[in-house]
């Protein structure tokens, strides 16, 4: 059977997009290749026409998820959003409730720490891009060295708050954690 030009790339993209969603929602280890391929409307055997290993797919899915998040942040920044707006956008209930559409770092960081160095290096590069976007909206009068360390602290507070809010079963406590995360992140961003 002959396929249209670009079919292989479209199929690969569908696999990567499906993996990016499923990995963020369920975790890398919980997602099997057979189930993932079925979700993408493909057969298990077709996987190896696109990827040499699951680890290669993990890297591609991390890139896809990171690209999606970067595009959202870019739109917010183009609309003139401040640091507070980025923090509040990140720590909102809809982000907590839909990990499959959200930040790959918050959803997968514990697992990524146990992956191959090449995967961790890919994650490191994408995290660097994310931190650069946040650093660009930190207070301009903050000295450069402090700006970098505060940016890391702000994002760590945001990510930790999001993870905690997802983990608890009490919805009121979860909302309180999100709001406390906003306050903590913004406090870290202040000059002083």
Measure the CA–CA gap between 94 and 70, rounded to whole angstroms.
17
* SS3 (DSSP) at 38: helix
Quick one: average pLDDT of 171-182?
98
Does pTM top 0.85 for this prediction? yes
| 152: nearest Cα among 179, 178, 175, 124 | 124
| Residue boundaries of the structural domains of the chain | 53-189
CA distances from 97 to 137, 148, 178 (A): 26, 30, 12
Q: Which fold has domain 53-189?
A: Tetracycline Repressor; domain 2 (1.10.357)
Q: What is the pLDDT of residues 115-158, one digit of tens each?
A: 999 999 999 999 999 999 999 999 988 888 889 999 999 999 99
Q: What is the pLDDT of residues 61-105, one digit of tens each?
A: 999 999 999 999 999 999 998 999 999 999 999 999 999 999 999
């Amino acid at each position: 059977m002959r396929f249209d030009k670009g079919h292989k790339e479209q199929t690969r993209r569908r696999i990567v997009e499906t993996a990016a969603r499923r990995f963020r929602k369920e975790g890398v280890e919980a997602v099997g290749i057979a189930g993932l391929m079925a979700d993408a409307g493909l057969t298990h055997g077709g996987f190896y026409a696109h990827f040499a290993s699951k680890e290669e797919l993990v890297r591609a899915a991390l890139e896809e998820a990171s690209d999606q998040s970067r595009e959202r942040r870019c739109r917010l920044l183009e609309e003139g959003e401040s640091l507070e707006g980025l923090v509040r956008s990140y720590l909102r209930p809809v982000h907590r409730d839909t990990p499959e559409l959200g930040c790959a770092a918050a959803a997968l960081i514990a697992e990524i720490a146990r992956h191959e160095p090449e995967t961790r290096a890919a994650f490191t590069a994408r995290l660097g891009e994310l931190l650069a976007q946040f650093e660009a909206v930190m207070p301009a009068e903050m000295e450069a060295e402090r700006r970098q360390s505060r940016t890391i602290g702000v994002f760590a507070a945001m990510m930790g708050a999001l993870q905690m809010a997802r983990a608890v079963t009490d919805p009121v406590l979860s909302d309180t954690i999100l709001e406390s995360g906003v306050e903590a992140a913004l406090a870290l961003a202040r000059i002083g």
